[in-house]
Chain A
Amino acid sequence: MEKRVFFKGWLLPLLLIAPQILVSAVFFFYPAGQAVWQSLFIPDPFGLSMQYVGLGNFKYLLSDPYYRASFFTTGLFSILVTLVSMIPALFLAIVADRLIKGAGTYRTMLIWPYAVAPAIAGVLWLFMFNTRVGVVSWYLGNLGYDWNHVLNGSEAMGLVVVSSAWGRISYNFLFFFAALQSVPKSIIEAAAIDGARFWRRFWTIVLPLLSPTTFFLLVVNVVYAFFETFGVIHTITSGGPQQSTTILVYKVFADGFVGQDLGSSAAQSVILLVVVGALTVFQFKYIERRVHY
C-alpha cells in the first residue's frame, strides 16, 4: 500500500528537489568524482606532477595481502560494533520501559555517553586499559590476567569495539526506547490475559513491532562502524598491533595523510564506496523484506 503524490508538469517537482540535488552534487558527487579521477594516477604530495597509471592503484592494492586482510578486519569490527551497541541498548530500553520510579533520571543518564566525542571516548577507555597504569588492567592483573592490548591483537580489537560501541548504546537506546513506547499497550495486555509470559510476549509481539526501528539502527550502525569509528582507532591503537585493528577507513587515512600516497588513498575510497553501496543495497533488498511496517 504505497502512497503516491502526482504532480502536474516537471517544473515544480524539479524545483522542490533542486536544493537536495545541489547539496549532493557539491558535497557528494563532486568529491566522489574527484576520488575516482585521482585513483587513476599516482600524484606527488604537493600536486606538482601526476603519473597516469590506469588501474595500477587498484592492482597494487588488491595484490597486497594486508589490504585484503583489512576487509575481514572491517567486517568483523562492524559486526561486533553493531551487536555490542544494539543488544545492550535493547536490553536497557526494555528495562527502562518497565521502570515506574525515576525513569527520567535513568533515561538521562543512559543517554549521556552519546555526548562524548569518539576520540575522547577512545582516550577514556585507553586510560582505563593502559597496560601499565590503567585501572582495569591493574584489576585484571590482580586477578592473574596479563592485559596487553599493545601486543595482543584480539584484546586490541575487543577494546576498540567496546570503545566504539559504548557511546552508540545511548543512541540506540534512545530509538529503542521511543519504539517501545509506541507498542500498543492493548495488544500486550491482550496477550498477557491469554497467558503469554514476558519473554513470549517480547518475542512474538514486541520484537516484530520493533523491526522497522531495528532495521533502521542496523543500517545506521553499520555505516557508523565503517566510517565514524576512525577517532577511536586513531587514539587507541593506530591500527595496530600488526594491523589487527586497521579497518578500511583507517587505512585510507593512514596511506593518504600519513604516507602522502594520495593515489592509493583515492583508490581505496573508491573501493570503500562500492562496498558500502553494495552493502546498503543488500540490506534493503534482503533484510528489509523481514521488516513489518
Chain B
Amino acid sequence: MKKNSIGALAVSSTLLSPIAAYAETEVHFWHAFTGRLGELVAAQVEDFNASQDNYTVVQSHKGNYSETLNAGIAAFRAGEQPQILMVFEVGTATMMAAKGATRPVYEVMAASGAEFDQDAYIGAVKGYYTSTDGDMLSLPFNASTPVLWVNRDAFKAAGVDPDTDLSTWQNVDKTLTALKAGGSDCPLVTAWQSWIHLENFSAYHDVPFASKDNGFSGLDTELQVNGDAQIAHLTAMGQWAKDGKFIYTGRRNEGGANFRAGECALFTESSAGYAGIKSEAKFAFDVRPLPYWEGVGNAPQNTIIGGASLWVMEGHEEEEYKGAGEFLSYLSSSDVQAKWHQDTGYLPITAEASAATKASGFYEENVGTEVAVIQMTAKAPTANSNGLRLGSFDQIRGIIDEELEAIWSGDKSAKDAMDSVVKRGNPLLRRFEQANR
C-alpha cells in the first residue's frame, strides 16, 4: 500500500517536472549494506548524484550477501534486474559463468569513455575478479583480509607480555599455553573459519586450495584442501579446541561479540572488523598480521580478500551503461577510495588511494590499520594466492563449516574431515560444471 502511494507520488512529481525527469537516466544499484556501511554507501551515491546532472543512481538494500545475490538472480529471470549488483566474493564464479547475464566492467568502462586504467588497481584485490586474460570483470568494492586482533589487557591479566612475537603459529601455540595457564577462559577465537583457516591459510602458505589454479583456469577443478599443510594446521587447532585454548562460537562472526566484550585474548577476523572493535572495545588492542607456520610452504605469501564486487547486469539501454560506467569510475577515484578505506577498514582498491591514505598520516594516527594492506601487497600473488573461483562455493563453505565443526568437537580427525570435504565438495563442482557447460 505504502509502496503504491510512493509510486503514485513519484509519478505525479514526474508529471509536474518533466524536464528534470528526462534529463536524468536512472541507474539502479543493489547492495547488501546496512547500518554504518549502509549510510556510507548512501553518502557515496548522494555525492555522485550531486556531482553531475546526467545520471541518478538509485541505491537499494536487498538483504545480506546471499539474499542480494538471490534478489539479483530472481530479478534477472523476471527481466527486472538492476544495472549494478553487489555480489560477494563467493558468488564470483557463479557470476562469471553467467555469460549473457552480466556485462564485463572493462567493456562498460570502455564504452562509457570514463577514465579506466586496470593497472591502477591493487593486484591482490583485482585478481579475484579478473579473467585469465587480465580483464576486470567486476569492480572490487569492499575488500578485506584476515588479521590477528590482540586484546592487550587480557594478555596482562594472564601475566603474558602483550608485545610477544605472534608472527608465527608456533609462537601463538606457546602463547596460548601461557594464556591458558594464566587463567584465560578464551585464549583464541575466530570469525569466518573457512575463509581464514582454510582459504586464506592456503594462499598465505602458497599451497593450492583447489586444482586448476584454484579454479581460475577451468571449471573442471577439484578441491585439494586435504593437503599436508592444511591438515597440520587443523590438527593443531583441533588440539587447541580440545585443550580449551581455542573457543568455537559459530560459523560467521559470532566470535566478534566475545572479543569486543573483552573475554578473548586473540581473535582472527577480517581487517574490516576495525570500526566495530574500535567503537566497542573497552581495552587496549593491537592489530597484527595473520600468523603463519614457519617452514610450511612459502609462508608468508599474501593473504586473499573477502568482501564484494560490483557486477553490471545485461539487458539495459546503452545510456544506462554509460551512467553505470561513470558511477563505477567515481567509486574507484582516489578520494572516494581513500575515505572508504579510512572509514571502514576495508582495503583501498587502488595503489593511489593507498598512497593518499599514507600521505595523510592516517596510519600513524590509527596504528594497525596498515597491517592488512601490507599483508596483501608485500608479495606478488602466485597461482595459489590470487583468490578462489569455485562454483557452488557458498555450499562448499557450508560443507567445510560442518567438517570443521566435527574437528572442533573431536568427532573426526583433521584428515578424515578434510578428505570428507573433498569427497562431498567435488560432486558440487561437477554439477556446477554441468550447469554451465
Q: Which residues of A contact B (CB under 8 A)?
A: 42-49, 51, 53, 60, 64, 66, 131-133, 150-152, 238-243, 254-255, 257-261, 263-264
Instruction: Decide: A46 and B77 in contact? CB cutoff 8 A.
Output: yes
B361 close to chain A: CB less than 8 A: no
Q: Nearest-CB distance from B357 to chain A (Å)?
A: 35
Instruction: Decide: A152 and B409 in contact? CB cutoff 8 A.
Output: yes
Given contacts A133-B257, A242-B411, contact A42 B431 (CB under 8 A): yes
B167 close to chain A: CB less than 8 A: no
Instruction: Decide: B249 and A150 in contact? CB cutoff 8 A.
Output: yes
Instruction: Decide: B77 and A150 in contact? CB cutoff 8 A.
Output: no
Q: Which residues of A contact B49 (CB under 8 A)?
A: none
Q: Can you offer 28 A-B residue contacts whose CB atoms are under 8 A?
A: A42-B434, A43-B435, A44-B435, A44-B436, A45-B98, A45-B435, A46-B100, A46-B101, A48-B100, A48-B101, A51-B435, A60-B431, A150-B248, A150-B249, A151-B405, A152-B409, A239-B398, A240-B401, A240-B405, A242-B402, A242-B406, A255-B395, A259-B428, A260-B73, A260-B94, A260-B392, A261-B395, A263-B435
Q: Which residues of B contact A (CB under 8 A)?
A: 66, 70, 73, 76-77, 94, 97-101, 248-251, 254, 257-258, 261, 263, 392, 394-395, 398, 401-403, 405-406, 408-409, 411, 424, 427-428, 431-432, 434-437
> Which one, A49, A131, A150, A259, contacts B392 given CB within 8 A?
A259
Instruction: Decide: A151 and B101 in contact? CB cutoff 8 A.
Output: no
Please measure, in the bound complex, the distance between the C-alpha atom of A151 and the C-alpha atom of B73, giving whole angstroms.
Answer: 33
Chain A residues touching B, majority SS = loop
Interface core residue of B403, B405, B424, B435 (most chain A CB under 10 Å): B435
Q: With A47-B76, A261-B432 given, can you name 4 additional A-B contacts, CB distance below 8 Å?
A: A47-B77, A48-B99, A240-B401, A260-B94
Instruction: Decide: A258 and B395 in contact? CB cutoff 8 A.
Output: yes
Instruction: Decide: B76 and A46 in contact? CB cutoff 8 A.
Output: yes
Q: Which residues of A contact B249 (CB under 8 A)?
A: 131-132, 150
Q: Nearest-CB distance from B264 to chain A (Å)?
A: 10
Q: Nearest-CB distance from A230 to chain B (Å)?
A: 15
Interface core residue of B97, B395, B437 (most chain A CB under 10 Å): B395
Q: Which residues of B contact A242 (CB under 8 A)?
A: 402-403, 405-406, 411
Q: Nearest-CB distance from B9 to chain A (Å)?
A: 31
Please measure, in the bound complex, the distance between the C-alpha atom of A239 and the C-alpha atom of B399, giving whole angstroms.
Answer: 11
Q: Nearest-CB distance from A122 to chain B (Å)?
A: 15
> Which one, A44, A152, A240, contacts B251 given CB within 8 A?
A240
Please measure, in the bound complex, the distance between the C-alpha atom of A217 and the C-alpha atom of B431, giving whole angstroms.
Answer: 41
Chain B: CB-nearest residue to A48: B100
Please measure, in the bound complex, the distance between the C-alpha atom of A162 and the C-alpha atom of B352, giving whole angstroms.
Answer: 55
